[in-house]
Amino acid sequence: MVIRDAQISDINKIFELAQSLSYNDTSLAEEGFLVSGYSEDNYEKFLGKSFFYVALIEEKIVGYRLAVEVGNPAHLQNYTSFHRVTWLSNELFEVDKLIYLAQSGTAVDYQRRGIASATLQHLINQNPNHSLFCAIAEKPLRNQASISFFEHKGFQRIGYFKPEKFKNISEYMSGRYALIKKK
């Protein structure tokens, strides 16, 4: 497996992979799902302004990870909703360096082979002193695959996020999960 930075020529494949893992296909819920409406254009805007990796097996993109550094203006310019996202969890104000794990996905046929683990480890290797956090859907559908993945990596639930309206999904709620680096 090769992990490298995403490039513009990868965007179409990343978009297709994300679409294939979309929340709209609830038959896949046990494998996890993405509550994301990113277009190819949205993904492209993250290039060079995020931690954006692809995982390849035999030159085929089988996984990706997108993360942004909190406090990094370039990273956050695509994240207008960021304050709403963070303020529910006081623990996150107490760390110096923080990365928000925005999205990750592994092609269904390649899951449970350590691909998401490898892209997460790549991010940690590049940012060994950062704390990490993410949001995982709990209602109306619980993303158990993702919860199990992050708990396996030592993340703990530190709060929740419940907007009045979220991507037209009624009763949406996500849990906040974090891996806090001790000072």
Rounded to whole angstroms, how far apart are CA atoms 3 and 9?
15
When the beta carbons of 69 and 138 are compared against ligand COA, the nearer one is 138
Q: How far is the CB of 32 from ligand COA (least distance, A)?
A: 3
Q: How far is the CB of 46 from ligand COA (least distance, A)?
A: 14
Q: How far is the CB of 183 from ligand COA (least distance, A)?
A: 27
Beta-carbon neighbour count of residue 102 at 10 Å? 21
106 binds ligand COA (CB under 6 A): yes
179 binds ligand COA (CB under 6 A): no
33 binds ligand COA (CB under 6 A): yes
146 binds ligand COA (CB under 6 A): yes
Stretch that binds ligand COA, among 42-50, 77-85, 105-113, 154-162 (CB under 6 A): 105-113
117 binds ligand COA (CB under 6 A): yes
161 binds ligand COA (CB under 6 A): no
143 binds ligand COA (CB under 6 A): yes
Stretch that binds ligand COA, among 6-14, 67-75, 92-100, 108-116 (CB under 6 A): 108-116
- Distance from chain centroid for Cα 143: 13
112 binds ligand COA (CB under 6 A): yes
Stretch that binds ligand COA, among 2-10, 69-77, 125-133, 143-151 (CB under 6 A): 143-151
CB of 62 closer than 8 Å to CB of 3: no
Rounded to whole angstroms, how far apart are CA atoms 112 and 95?
31
Dump the DSSP string for the chain. -EEEE--GGGHHHHHHHHHHTBTT-GGGGGG--B-----HHHHHHHTTSSEEEEEEETTEEEEEEEEEEET-HHHHTT-TTHHHHHTT-GGGGG-SSEEEEEEEEE-GGGTTSSHHHHHHHHHHHH-TT-EEEEEEEEESS--HHHHHHHHHTT-EEEEEE--S-BTTBTT-EEEEEEEPPP-
Residues in contact with ligand COA by CB under 6 A are: 21, 31-34, 63, 103-106, 111-117, 143, 145-146, 148-149, 152
